[in-house]
Amino acid sequence: MPTPKIILYKHKKYSDNQHPIILQVIKNGKAIRKVIGKCSEKDWLTSKNRVSTRNIEAPRINNDIEVALRNYGLSKSFTLKSLFESQIENYKTRQQASRHDVNQTVLAQLLTFYPNVDFEDITERFIYKFAAYLSEDIGNNPNTIKEKMNVFGAIMRLAKKQKLIIDNPFEDLQFAKAKTVKSKLTTLEIKKLLDAKLTGKHEEARDIFMACIYLRGIRIGDLLHLKDSDIIDGRVHYKELKTGAQHNVGLSAELSEIFKRWSGKNKLGYIFSFLQVQNGNDKFLFKAGMRNAIAKLGGYIKQIAKSVDIQKNISPHTARHTFSKFANEVIKNTSITKDLIGHQSLAIHEGYISDISDDIVMDSYANQVIDKIININ
């Protein structure tokens, strides 16, 4: 095992004119450094590698030095990999499935790119090379790369906060977010879907796509999660999985026919068959099941689009984008369309709008939009 050294790192000076005291280890020809404390050059005893007693903080700092030397090699938080793993475990404990998964993915791809990576390897050049790897080898788009770099950068900020590193190369880096164009269907393309002669899973996938439109652009995960018990007195009651917002939407004749066609076939009680996991205490299992369901559904929808000559890269979420597009064209009142579509993050400047949300008035607005989408003159 390499022998650690305690040094006063004079290459860096804080705003109070003190230098960091670091524990340094040479590993594979590269210096690994961990900040322990700080002091001025005049208070540093080079012969002993300790702080002079004339510094009032000397007893505490020197004790921290002894503890760091004693614990060297025992702490797993000393490496980049183990710091990542500790954060992943924290997210799992807190049931933050999305953050858990993206951190796990970034770590796995980082280790594939550079198996023995550690803090001393992380430079601006390394980061840009990793970004190029994500683009060229993994096939990530700019926005996905930006998200992963945000995750990587957060780990490096944590490392600096815990004094595992002195400088964070991410502090001077920015990754641009590319403008995305969400696919939306035209009325003629919707007609192609409705006229397609489909059976089995393809028919169900088409019905799910249309049900998303009939339910005001409901998020696809919320739609797959619907059960027969959510339909009460001719209305669909559901709570968004993402935001917790409650919705109460009128059941149209078209939507009723779709529900009748597929309900009762899922052993877990969902109206549609794609979701095969119960929403219980294990959020990770449920999230994985939902991701799998949406992926399978997306595959069928792409096959349908190709079969009816729709020249767009559509997904299950395209139905929500399509409803949103037509809602803004038909209603021409953002105060209403914001609430109609359920964009919780957008401010509603008319106070009364929140009072009419999800009732018969909002149903009438939704019907205007749906008529525009499916009625071809």
Q: Is pLDDT at 245 greater than 60 in this prediction? A: yes
Residue with tokens 């003629």: 188
Q: Is the predicted pLDDT of residue 275 greater than 70, yes or no?
A: yes
- Rounded mean pLDDT of the chain? 85
**Exposed/middle/buried for 136, CB within 10 Å: 0-12, 13-18, 19+?**
exposed
Asked if residue 55 has pLDDT above 70, the reply is yes
How far apart, in whole angstroms, are the C-alpha atoms of residue 42 and residue 56?
13
Averaged over 311-316, what is the pLDDT?
91
> For tokens 């939306």, what's the residue?
184
The reported pLDDT for the residue numbered 369 is: 66
Say if residues 370 and 258 touch (Cβ distance below 8 Å).
Answer: no
Residue 67 zone, left/alpha/beta (φ > 0; ψ -120 to 50; rest): alpha
Handedness of CA 75, 76, 80, 83 (dihedral sign): negative
Strand, coil or helix: 6: strand
DSSP 227: B
Residue 124 near residue 173 (C-beta atoms within 8 A): yes
Q: What percent of the chain has pLDDT over 70?
A: 86
With both helix axes pointing from N to C terminus, report the angle between 187-195 and 360-374 in degrees, rounded to the nearest 10: 80
The three-point CA angle 270-206-254 to 5° equals 75
* pLDDT at residue 343 greater than cutoff 60: no
pLDDT band at 76 (very low <50, low <70, confident <90, very high): very low
Domains annotated for the chain, with CATH where assigned, are: 5-74 (no CATH), 78-172 (1.10.150.130), 187-374 (1.10.443)
Give me 287's structure tokens.
Answer: 């999230």
Of 18, 50, 301, which Cα lies nearest the Cα of 10? Answer: 18
According to the model, what pLDDT value does residue 16 have?
Answer: 93
Summarised one tens digit per residue, pLDDT across range 138-172 is 999 999 999 999 999 999 999 888 878 878 999 98
